[in-house]
Chain A
Amino acid sequence: MDFKKTKGLTDAPLHYCPGCTHGIIHRLVAESLEELGVLDRTVGVASVGCSVFTYNYFNCDMVQAAHGRAPAVATGIKRARPDDIVFTYQGDGDLAAIGTAETVHSAARNENITIIFVNNAIYGMTGGQMAPTTLPNQITQTSPYGRDVTVVGYPVKVCEMLSQVDGASYVERVAVNNVKNIMKAKKAIKKAFQNQIEGKGFSLIEVLSTCPTNWGKSPADAIKWLDDNMATYYPLGVYKDKEATKND
């Protein structure tokens, strides 16, 4: 098998920092859309944060949404064009803080869309502030002494939360910290799109990702930090799969 550039990405150079795993996740999304043969009828929704420029990268029609509003925008597109494949690509600040309502309610409606949720435990674009998913004691620009859970509370576990939402069809947490996990992430992302094609409803894939720049680590150390800290606080796995439950 030849290793080629996927048709799901444009030729625009990515603006992401060295060692950031957004590039890997982009490729997994783009490959999935290409392999499923739906690129030509896909509309992506870009969010606010590091992923804001995804409208330059994914090789399909794109709409850029306000901070946190991507699931609402995607709902509007999907309701207008039910035959289109509609996805959002959102970070943790966007999806789990300012956009919590849109996330929960699109899941509750079992909106037939696919959400790619990139969790790197920090606000990247604005320079490394505390995110809803920042770990306890983690140092950021706005938690310079470490996240003090007695003052600012605890991280939001999105997959665990959505697993309790009746409407949600498929919710899985994956990581892109090693080859094995990347392969698993690809499988999950592709399934999330396949679900939409089959009209199964709301799918969300949370991808644990790195931010070497704002974590203040080398790319290799960032991967290790993800292994040691994020993957333990945010366990990988399937949190909801209506199909699987049905077959049990």
Chain B
Amino acid sequence: MAEKVLMKGNEALAEAAITAGCRHYFGYPITPQTEVAAYMAKRMPKIGGTFLQAESEVAAINMVLGAAAAGVRSMTSSSSPGISLKSEGISYMAGCDVPAVIVNVERGGPGLGGIQPSQSDYFQATKGGGHGDYHLIVLAPASVQEMYSLTIKGFEIADNYRIPTMILTDGTIGQMMEPVSLDAVEVKQFDKPWSACGQRGRDHRNIINSLSLKPEELEQWNFDRYKRYEIVKEKEVMYEEFMMDDAEVCIVAFGIAARVSKNAIVEARKQGIKVGMIRPITLWPFPEKALKAAAEKCKAFVSVELSMGQMIDDVKLAIECKKPVLLCNRTGGMIMSPDEVVAKIVEASKM
């Protein structure tokens, strides 16, 4: 059996980035993601990598853009208010087709909000966040082990499609400790003939740019990017089904809310309620087909999330509003108890 080590989620994520070949990390302090930067500050100098604490989140994301444009695997991490600041740079990266990994260890908002866990940046993460027509690929770990595995996956998927990828997690997953297997994994690497790293005999110049003053051209760039998004939607959707075989009530939850929901499902089943869960692992692309199929056999859905209700919109869209969707939510840094979820499951089972 593989040896496991006890790690914080944020540390597992940082180690995963190093395993994936990331040697350029740029960050700025903010709670509750600080362990990522601290881990990188210790490790990077020892493996010939770069850890740089930037003067702001704005500068950090643009350093990531520069390093990624030059063809290396690069990462930044932050928490909600910091991600708002990075959104300008993220939009530029999307517009330039520069791949990198951006980590959001969410905390309560809006504004300065609080430092306790939240999932209220769902809209920002999945609908774009910055200006213009674009998406990020958004991965949502629900365990420390997934902080490790999905971060590696994030680098691969970003490079493969030249789409910046976000790890959307929260203060709980980031801070909690669990045993993690850091087994040697084969990490896919990709050639980057497009990168701006000096011509060195190449017969053409590489230009990394998101500007076009010709609307026909800019429209075509967006069309081309959305064609790639369609391929991502076709090939990269990830989700977990939990006790769905006979489920009449379907919970939809991700990250820490899914962990709470699993306990609630086990409890509700003891009361004889047939309930299961679809846990989106990719929030974008969203597991629309799986939910649509579930709508054929389930009579009600419950969206369990740490926000005022954001993912619930995507649930309703995916099932085309064919079944009722209840919301079980806490916000501002509060987490629902399994009992609160059970109460919603009972309510849904009576619909």
Contacts and interface: CB of A to CB of B under 8 A. Distances in A.
A222 interface: no
A63 B196 contact: yes
Contacts of B59: 69, 72, 75, 101-102, 105
Contact of A40 (B26, B200, B209): B200
A59 B203 CA distance: 11
A5 interface: no
A72 B62 contact: yes
A77 interface: yes
Given A76-B70, A79-B50, A62 B207 contact: yes
B197 A64 contact: no
A132 B220 CA distance: 37
A80 B201 contact: no
B211 A69 contact: no
B38 interface: no
Interface string A63-95: 111100100111111111101110000000000
Contacts of B244: none
Nearest to A108: B55
Contacts of A64: 96, 207-211
A79 B63 contact: yes
A39 B198 CA distance: 8
A47 to B, nearest CB: 11
A43 interface: yes
Interface of B is mostly: mixed
Contact of B197 (A43, A45, A74, A101): A43
A95 B262 CA distance: 52
Among B72, B88, B92, B198, residue most surrounded by chain A Cβ atoms (within 10 Å): B198
Contacts of B70: 43, 76-77, 80-81, 84
A61 interface: yes
B26 A69 contact: no
A104 B54 CA distance: 12
B74 interface: yes
Given A69-B59, A101-B56, A55 B67 contact: no
A76 B209 contact: no
A64 B96 CA distance: 9
B54 A79 contact: no
A72 B92 CA distance: 13
Contacts of A72: 54, 58-60, 62-63, 65-66
B69 interface: yes
Contacts of B208: 62-64
Contact of B199 (A46, A52, A60, A69): A60
Given A63-B69, A101-B55, A80 B199 contact: no
A101 B63 CA distance: 13
B64 interface: yes
A64 to B, nearest CB: 4
**A43, A62, A76, most chain B CB atoms within 10 A:** A76
Contacts of A81: 70-72, 197-198
A73 to B, nearest CB: 4
Given A62-B208, A101-B55, A84 B67 contact: no
B255 to A, nearest CB: 29
Contacts of B205: 10, 59-62
A41 interface: yes
A73 B207 contact: no
B76 to A, nearest CB: 10
A107 B325 CA distance: 55
Given A60-B205, A62-B208, A43 B196 contact: yes
B52 interface: yes
Nearest to A56: B207
A42 interface: yes
B315 interface: no
Given A63-B66, A77-B67, 5 more contacts: A43-B196, A61-B197, A72-B63, A79-B66, A80-B71
30 contacts: A40-B199, A40-B201, A41-B200, A55-B207, A59-B205, A61-B197, A61-B199, A61-B207, A62-B205, A62-B208, A63-B69, A64-B96, A64-B209, A65-B65, A65-B92, A66-B89, A72-B54, A73-B65, A75-B63, A75-B66, A76-B64, A76-B67, A76-B74, A77-B70, A79-B67, A80-B24, A80-B197, A81-B197, A84-B197, A105-B59
Interface of A: 10, 39-43, 45-46, 52, 55, 59-66, 69, 72-81, 83-85, 101-102, 104-105
Top 8 closest pairs, chain A to chain B, by CB = A76-B66, A72-B62, A76-B63, A76-B67, A41-B198, A73-B66, A105-B55, A61-B196
